[in-house]
Chain A
Amino acid sequence: DAKTTQPTSMDCAEGRAANLPCNHSTISGNEYVYWYRQIHSQGPQYIIHGLKNNETNEMASLIITEDRKSSTLILPHATLRDTAVYYCIVRSTIQGAQKLVFGQGTRLTINP
């Protein structure tokens, strides 16, 4: 019952920007968009999250469309260490019982 759709895999050249799309067409007004990544056999690592506005931190930028039905995670200068599975997740802002529903994610491979 994942609420997001992502491409199964993507490739990107080292040093270039990696743009990972995510479709969340059923997102409701009170749901955040979260991005996590998982490097083989480690726990998922938080990257960034946003509600309406674009967000940027030291790791990445998150661009959310005006209608909030899709978003793009941007890794500005990809390195080999960015090779991982990237998960886009929506999470309710409503206080109370919550869970993260993970889809299959995008397997991003950074090529030298």
Chain B
Amino acid sequence: NAGVTQTPKFQVLKTGQSMTLQCAQDMNHNSMYWYRQDPGMGLRLIYYSASEGTTDKGEVPNGYNVSRLNKREFSLRLESAAPSQTSVYFCASIKDKNTEAFFGQGTRLTVV
């Protein structure tokens, strides 16, 4: 049972390049989330998907788009990367409101 799988683990982009971070969970969870983690700022919610077919903005959505491809997969896209998007990105999933979040291993993204 893999849990939450994120790819890639590391990525370096040039300013203006685009990329998609992939996330998949095999726990049949309903809700999926993308966070970014920056020193001293904790985890900030970028986008979330409460259920298959729905997506909503979180605290810091600017510069990102998401797709809930199916119940298992929730991708995060950077259309035109900026140095301010250098961060560690975590995907998480939750079964329902009375359960905890399960996290992927993270993607360390550097934009130069």
A and B are interacting partners:
no
